[in-house]
Amino acid sequence: MQVKQNYSLLNHNTFAIDVRANVVISYDNEEELKEMARDGFSNYPRPILHIGHGSNLLFMNDFEGTVLLSNITTIEVLREDDTEIVVRAGAGLTMDDFIEHCIGQGWYGLENLSLIPGQVGASAVQNIGAYGVEVCDHIKRVNCVSLTDGKEISFAREECDYAYRHSIFKTPEYRGAYAVVSVEFSLNKRFTPQLAYGGIVKSLQGEGIDINNVSAKQLRDVIIAIRNDKLPDPKVQGNAGSFFMNPIVRKELFKEIQQKYIDVPHYTIDEQHVKIPAAWLIEQCGWKGRSHGKAGVHHKQPLVLVNMGGARGEDIKALAEEIQRDVNARFGIRINAEVNYIY
Ligand SMILES: Cc1cc2nc3c(=O)[nH]c(=O)nc-3n(C[C@H](O)[C@H](O)[C@H](O)COP(=O)(O)OP(=O)(O)OC[C@H]3O[C@@H](n4cnc5c(N)ncnc54)[C@H](O)[C@@H]3O)c2cc1C
C-alpha cells in the first residue's frame, strides 16, 4: 500500500485538470482496504473518494479528502461448461487489457467495448457501453467492500439496477458507500459478433473482411480503429469521452422535432420513448468545433468536450452549461452530464 500526501491528480484524470488531493492511497489487496474501512479511515481526511483512471471525472477544485486507488488486477476462472465461462476480474485491472485477455483465451462478449478507457471496477459502476453492447449484458456479480465498516457485500446483476449508463452505485445512497473490488463476468465460449451498430460492417468490409466469417480479434481491431479515428486521445488532448448522455424523450416531443428536422437521427426505446443522439442536438446548435476560453467542443465529435490547455473544472462546466441552455432553448430537451463532477 502506498500513501501520498498533497498529491497531484493531473495524471489521474483524463481531462488533465491540475488539482491536488490531500491524501492518495493505492492499496494492493482487499485486506488492506477492509482494514482501513474497519478503522473508519481514522488516519485519513474525509470524504473518501474511490476512483479508477479518472476517465469520467471532472474535478472542480483540489480534493480536500482521501482518494483511493485499487491495484487489484487478478483474473480467476470461477466455473465453466461447454458454452459459458464465469471469470472474476479485479477492479483495478484496465478494462481494455481484460478484454484483450478474454479474446486471447476464447472468452467472448466484450469485444465491442474495446478501447473504452478505465478500469474493470468503474465499468460496473458506470455500466459502460458502445456499439450496441453494455457491460451489464455480461456482468453476473459485483463484489464490494463497504467503506463504512469494511464488510464484504456482493450484488447480483439484478440488484445493480442497470440501465443506460446507470447502476445502483451511482445513486446518492450507494455512491461513495462501497468500493468495487472485483466483477464477475459471464462470457461465451462461442463467438457471436454484434455488428449491427455504428458503421462496423462498413469498416470490416473496408478492410476486406468477410462479415460472415469475422474473428473476435478482427472485430476488436476494427472497433479500435473506428474509435481512434473519431475520438480525441486523452493523452494528446484532455477529455472524458462523451460529456453528455443521449436524452430519451417522449414520442410526442420527438414528432414535433421531426416536423422541423426531417432527418433527426433516433432510436426507438419503446412505444412511448425515443433516444436522440446528444451529438446531433449539440451540432444543430452550432457548437461543433467551437471553443470558449480554455474549454472546447471537439471538431469531429460534438459530444466530447476538450481541455484546450490549462482549463480548470469551472471552464469545462461553464461550457457544458452553455450547451445545455442552448439545446434546451432550441429543442425543449434537457441533456444531462454523463461525466461525474467532483467538488
Ligand atoms: C476518450 C474516452 C472515450 C470514452 N468512451 C466511452 C464509451 O464509449 N462508452 C462509455 O460507456 N464510456 C466511455 N468513456 C467514459 C469512461 O471510459 C468510463 O466511464 C469508464 O468506466 C471510467 O473508468 P475509470 O476507471 O476511469 O473511472 P473513473 O472515471 O475514475 O470513475 C468513474 C466513477 O466510478 C467510481 N469508481 C471508480 N472505481 C471505483 C471502484 N473500484 N469502486 C467504487 N467506485 C468506483 C468513481 O467514484 C466515479 O464515480 C470514455 C472516456 C474517454 C476519456
- In a domain, residue 231? The reply is no
Q: Whole domain around residue 285: which residue ranges? A: 239-342
What is the model's pLDDT at position 4? 98
Judge whether 114 counts as a catalytic residue: no
> Which residue among 161, 195, 226 closes a domain?
226
Judge whether 167 counts as a catalytic residue: no
Distance 50 CA to ligand 1 centre (A): 11
Q: Looking at residue 305, which CATH number applies to its domain?
A: 3.90.78.10
Residues 203 and 79 in one domain: yes
- In a domain, residue 176? The reply is yes
What is the model's pLDDT at position 88? 98
> Which residue among 70, 94, 111 closes a domain?
70
pLDDT tens for the 343 residues of the chain, in order? 999 999 999 999 999 999 999 999 999 999 999 999 999 999 999 999 999 999 999 999 999 999 999 999 999 999 999 999 999 999 999 999 999 999 999 999 999 999 999 999 999 999 999 999 999 999 999 999 999 999 999 999 999 999 999 999 999 999 999 999 999 999 999 999 999 986 899 999 999 999 999 999 999 999 999 999 999 999 999 999 999 999 999 999 999 999 999 999 999 999 999 999 999 999 999 999 999 999 999 999 999 999 999 999 999 999 999 999 999 999 999 999 999 999 9
Q: Looking at residue 94, which CATH number applies to its domain?
A: 3.30.465.10
What is the model's pLDDT at position 197? 83
Judge whether 154 counts as a catalytic residue: no
Residues 136 and 272 in one domain: no
Any residues with Cβ below 6 Å from ligand 1, and which? Answer: 14, 49-57, 70, 91, 116-119, 121-123, 125-126, 128-130, 179-180, 231, 234, 239-241, 340
Q: Which of 116, 123, 178, 300 to mutate to test the pocket of ligand 1 (most atoms within 8 A of CB)?
A: 116
Nearest-atom index, ligand 1, CA of 53: 26
What is the model's pLDDT at position 82? 96
Three-state secondary structure readout of the chain: CEEEEEEECHHHCCCCCCCEEEEEEEECCHHHHHHHHHCCCCCCCCCEEECCCCCCEEECCCEEEEEEEECCCCEEEEEECCCEEEEEEECCCEHHHHHHHHHHHCCECCHHHCCCCCEHHHHHHHCCEECCEEHHHCEEEEEEEECCCCCEEEEEHHHHCCECCECHHHCCCCCCCEEEEEEEEEEECCCCCCCCCCCHHHHHHHCCCCHHHCCHHHHHHHHHHHHHHHCCCCCCCCEEEECECCCEEEHHHHHHHHHHCCCCCCEECCCCEEECCHHHHHHHCCCCCCEECCEEECCCCCCEEEECCCCCHHHHHHHHHHHHHHHHHHHCCCCCECCEEEC
Residues 246 and 336 in one domain: yes
Domain count, the chain: 3
Which of these is catalytic: 20, 38, 165, 290?
165
Residues 168 and 98 in one domain: yes
> Which residue among 180, 198, 226 closes a domain?
226
Q: Looking at residue 48, which CATH number applies to its domain?
A: 3.30.43.10
